[in-house]
Structure 1
């Protein structure tokens, strides 16, 4: 995708992002007065039972803190960078945000009920180093909906996305204990 088309798409996305932010009830994670690339909200898990490597069991309707990367911001900041450089910037930004997410979760009204973090992504390489565990989405309709919804992000984030095999979206989880222990 040409850089001109990518910049135009990001411009349009930046216009609609505040509406998305409002209707999804997201909240920013803030570090030293600055908004991070992470936005969150409490959600009820609707998938199949998952047992994480530390023994945390996540059942249907358990409370989790859903994390969203602010993709328009990330992609806008990394236009012109190589895919590897972009991935490193995202990795570092998420890594730097995790202590603030831990603090946010620690003081949340539902802290005792929230079992951990959840996200959905097609770009999950490297998530294990951050403490996340990738798990497949079992519901084929939900998986397809996420595949469609995440495709624009995927195509904008990679230079030659059309020539690469598109990965399936995956859940990424991190238990609350893991988050507090690591961060």
Structure 2
């Protein structure tokens, strides 16, 4: 990625952070930013059988795209980039679990939910995956994520064209119980393999 473009993005990211309710799990050391909110959408069934209903309190997770872009600076290989993302997700999930456990509203939270085009390979980590309705909001989000992909990916322009059908926007989610059992402080279970 062009260094001056990355610098401009860094300034924009600071402004974006101040204008949203997104919180850092651990700034500069975690790939997630989060916001607790009420879930809006169809009921979701997690892999461990829990339900997330419309109106339930959830933690909305966002990949910190600017942080990931800085990690990928100089990476030209698509597989290396995918492995880097997966590694940082795996390292970030235990810290997310610890953060969620310490939240004031922890007892009420039903799970974590995110929206992404980079959903391949997340199921072994404990996530469930489902389609999103193509409302104006999700159409805008898909356009925005494709723009980011074009900027971050070493062959972004071509990949955006080929991924138009291969990489639809999806909802990824996990129950709070599964997150804490698998990645929490008392967890003894392995977090998954790198493919």
Q: Give the alignment partner of residue 52 of structure 2, picking from 53, 58, 62.
A: 58
Task: Give, in angstroms, the shift of residue 94 of structure 1.
Answer: 1.1
Equivalent residue number for residue 182 of structure 1? 182
Q: Give the structure 2 partner of residue 28 of structure 1.
A: 24
Which structure has greater strand proportion? Answer: 1
TM-score, normalization: structure 2?
A: 0.84
Quick one: which of 90, 99, 110 aligns to 2:94? 99
Aligned counterparts of 2:145 and 2:4: Cα–Cα separation in 1: 18
- 2:46 is the alignment partner of 1:48: no
Residue segments in structure 2 that go unaligned for 5+ positions in a row = 184-195
Count of residue correspondences: 177
| Aligned-partner SS, 1:126 | coil
CA shift at 1:83, angstroms? 1.4
Residue of structure 2 in register with 1:10 after alignment: 6
Deviates more, 1:131-140 or 1:103-112: 131-140
Is residue 29–residue 38 contact of structure 1 (8 Å, CA) maintained in 2? yes
The answer for the alignment partner of 1:165 in structure 2 is 163
1:141 equivalent to 2:139? Answer no
For the structure 1 residues 72 and 34, does the alpha-carbon distance in structure 2 shift closer, same or farther, using more than 3 Å as the test? Answer: closer
After superposition, residues 73-84 of structure 1 pair within 5 angstroms as 73-81=67-75, 82-84=77-79
